[in-house]
Amino acid sequence: MKNNHNKSKKILLIYLLIAVGFLIFISMMLFIVLDPRHSPSKYTTQSSKASRGSIISADGFHIASTKKLYKAVVDTRYIDEGKKDLFVQLFSIYSGIDQTKILQKISKRKGVVVLSYNIPQIQATYLKKLAYELRRFKLFKAIKNPRTGLLSVHGLNIIESGESREYQYKDLLTPIIGYPHKLEEDGYTFVRGVKGIEKRWDDELSARQDEFSRGKRDVNGYIILNKESFSKPKLNGLDLKLTIPVAFQIKVERILDAMKKQLDAKEIMLALMDSKTGDIYAMASSNRYNPTHIKRSDYPSLNSGMIEYSFEPGSVLKPITFSLLLEKKLINPYDLVNGHNGHFKIGRKVITDEHRFAWLSAEDVIVHSSNVGMAQLAQKLAGYEFYEGLKKFGFSKKSMPDLIYEKAGSIPSVKRLENEIYKATCSYGYGMRANLMQLLRAYSAFNNNGRLTTPRLVDALIDQYGQVTKLPYEPNEQAISSTTAQRMKKILIKTVNKGTGVKTITKGVEIGGKTGTAHIVEKGQYVGRYNASFIGFINDKKHHYSMGVVVVEPQSSYFASQTAVPVFKKVVDLMIEEGYLKPDVIE
């Protein structure tokens, strides 16, 4: 009886142990199933940053483009020791990095190692494929996580680290092209425009949408793209296509570089555009810089002088004043004007001429650039007529929409222009300020039936799929009548043939223009330094161009006829060589 009782106890104990064991097993299973921290996700995500758009020349060359940067990261604990040499060899072949350097990096420490911070996009694509193959062929071993007890594999990872801006032609088209600066967000480096085209068109150039995908993952952790996955496409920034061809711009810049040395000038600026459309074919400065390596000595050159350097234009304003007088029918080109032998007093101011004249016709006041004659003729304009006329020609207004930070200059008030001295000095370009592009736009009226043409740098926007959106032309503004413009055109052609612009004469093409030499003002005082300019037009039977040259502080000679005019002439010759002009010459 006692034995049976003991036997029953033992059986009961065994059942209890089995029951407890079963409860423990069920509890563990429930814990594993219900605890999300220990269960690897069936889903994964992938993302890729969109890129900034490029700036492309009219002849299809990339002046500025974005280079994506990647870093290669590996956890050395997961590299199979028996296959370490194979990993080093393969990574070296795909990345171009020396095997010794790779081996040093992965042998130096256990854990996460960055093999390279600066991998170009093409190499990164190949390395991503390599990373997939390395996992497939088990070059990386599985390691148990001591916390979770689960096995995991961490292979080679290629991660986007940022982007840099590349300028393939270095200082070409600077300072107009501008430059960027670097910003960082969530460990990713990107660029934004600071000056020039890079700044003005920053919104269009900037990346619009990053790529993002989410879906189930395969055994190697890669996303399975099917109807259950979600994808958002990458939308890169738009490319800008310019009106300026690289081949021509380079040659113009070389001319300016050579002439800067020859004239011992502080800077030479030039702009050439189609008088009818406003398309710019060259916009150049002798003072340039490499946007990727800006030095302290480059700081004075960072501003786009064509729009940011305003100056008293001097005699290039005389044709503007003269055209206002013609428009109001206040003068006739053949009226006689007393030259006073080069000295004329208005109030307390004595006005002088470089060349002395007794009498000359009104149009010869322009041809021979007489300050004395111009000062007298200007008195026929009322102050408000002069003021409104200058405004109509675009002075004190921005000249073009494609650049930023333009200094619009200034013109005297109506009240000041009622004063005979202010009226006289302003008539030949003193007491007011303008920049090169404002002067070029004003002169376009003489070559475009009295209509102002707005200079235009950006021709089209291009998306990543190659779809081109042409930008509209700015509407022309009528500054003077067609009749007045035609008369002024003849006078400016005469100025080239018989006056201050004779050195620009070129057989078979029509050239007109006006020189200007003006004192520089510093702290309200005129100093012994000068700016020289020549603004004009060049035409053949099919083409009509407007071109302006400004030489800042030439030391060899301050006369525009000896500084700005030769620069103008060299570019005209280049235009003929390059086929932009076809002279009508009978051999």
Q: Which residue has the higher pLDDT, 566 or 39?
A: 566
**Do 452 and 532 fall into the same domain?**
yes
Number of domains in the chain: 2
| CA 335 to each of CA 9, 321, 340, 363: distance values in angstroms, whole numbers, following the listed order | 140, 16, 15, 8
Asked if residue 64 lies in contact with residue 167, where contact means CB atoms within 8 angstroms, the answer is yes
Indicate the range of 112-116, 420-424, 433-437 predicted with least confidence: 112-116
**Do 325 and 442 fall into the same domain?**
yes
User: Which of 171, 203, 235 finishes a domain?
Assistant: 203
**Do 198 and 253 fall into the same domain?**
no
Residues 480-512: pLDDT tens digits? Answer: 999 999 999 999 999 999 998 899 999 999 999
Q: Look-up: residue for tokens 């996700």?
A: 41
Residues 157-201: pLDDT tens digits? Answer: 888 888 889 999 999 999 999 999 988 888 788 899 999 999 999
User: Which of 169, 203, 237 finishes a domain?
Assistant: 203
Residue 256 has pLDDT above 90, yes or no: yes
Indicate the range of 32-41, 375-384, 496-505 predicted with least confidence: 32-41
**pLDDT mean across residues, the chain:** 90
Residue 44 has pLDDT above 70, yes or no: no
Any domain includes 230: no
Q: What is the CATH number of the domain that holds 543?
A: 3.40.710.10
Any domain includes 2: no
- Residue 383 CB partners (closer than 8 Å, separation 6+): 414, 415, 416, 417, 418, 419, 423
Q: Which of 92, 143, 126 is nearest to 84 (CA)?
A: 92
**Do 87 and 196 fall into the same domain?**
yes
Residues 296-321: pLDDT tens digits? Answer: 999 999 999 999 999 999 999 999 99
User: In the prediction, which pLDDT does 526 show?
Assistant: 84
Q: How do beta strands 43-48 and 211-216 pair?
A: antiparallel
Any domain includes 339: yes
User: In the prediction, which pLDDT does 197 show?
Assistant: 97
User: In the prediction, which pLDDT does 298 show?
Assistant: 94
**Do 496 and 422 fall into the same domain?**
yes
**Do 198 and 297 fall into the same domain?**
no
C-alpha 76/C-alpha 30 separation (Å) is 35
**Do 171 and 251 fall into the same domain?**
no
**Do 490 and 385 fall into the same domain?**
yes
User: In the prediction, which pLDDT does 412 show?
Assistant: 96
- Residue 135 confidence class, pLDDT cut points 50, 70, 90: confident
Q: Which range has highest mean pLDDT (115-124, 151-160, 394-403)?
A: 394-403
Residues 200-213: pLDDT tens digits? Answer: 999 999 999 988 77
Residue type, 228: E
Q: What residues make up the domain containing 485?
A: 246-461+475-577
Q: Stretch 64-80: mean pLDDT, rounded?
A: 90
**Do 287 and 169 fall into the same domain?**
no
Q: What share of the chain is helix, strand, coil (3-state, %, to 5)?
A: 35, 25, 35
User: In the prediction, which pLDDT does 39 show?
Assistant: 46
User: In the prediction, which pLDDT does 5 show?
Assistant: 60
Any domain includes 336: yes
Residue 219 has pLDDT above 60, yes or no: no
Any domain includes 505: yes
Residue 146 has pLDDT above 80, yes or no: no
Residue 587 has pLDDT above 60, yes or no: no
**Do 190 and 252 fall into the same domain?**
no
**Do 115 and 255 fall into the same domain?**
no
pTM exceeds 0.85: no
Q: Which residue has the higher pLDDT, 412 or 42?
A: 412
C-alpha 223/C-alpha 393 separation (Å) is 62
Residue 19 has pLDDT above 60, yes or no: yes
Q: Which residue has the higher pLDDT, 153 or 106?
A: 106
Any domain includes 257: yes
Q: What is the CATH number of the domain that holds 148?
A: 3.90.1310.10
User: Which of 147, 181, 203 finishes a domain?
Assistant: 203
Q: Stretch 67-83: mean pLDDT, rounded?
A: 89
Any domain includes 406: yes
Q: Which residue has the higher pLDDT, 109 or 365?
A: 365
Any domain includes 172: yes
- Residue 38 confidence class, pLDDT cut points 50, 70, 90: very low
Q: Which range has highest mean pLDDT (22-26, 82-86, 443-447)?
A: 443-447
**Do 255 and 313 fall into the same domain?**
yes
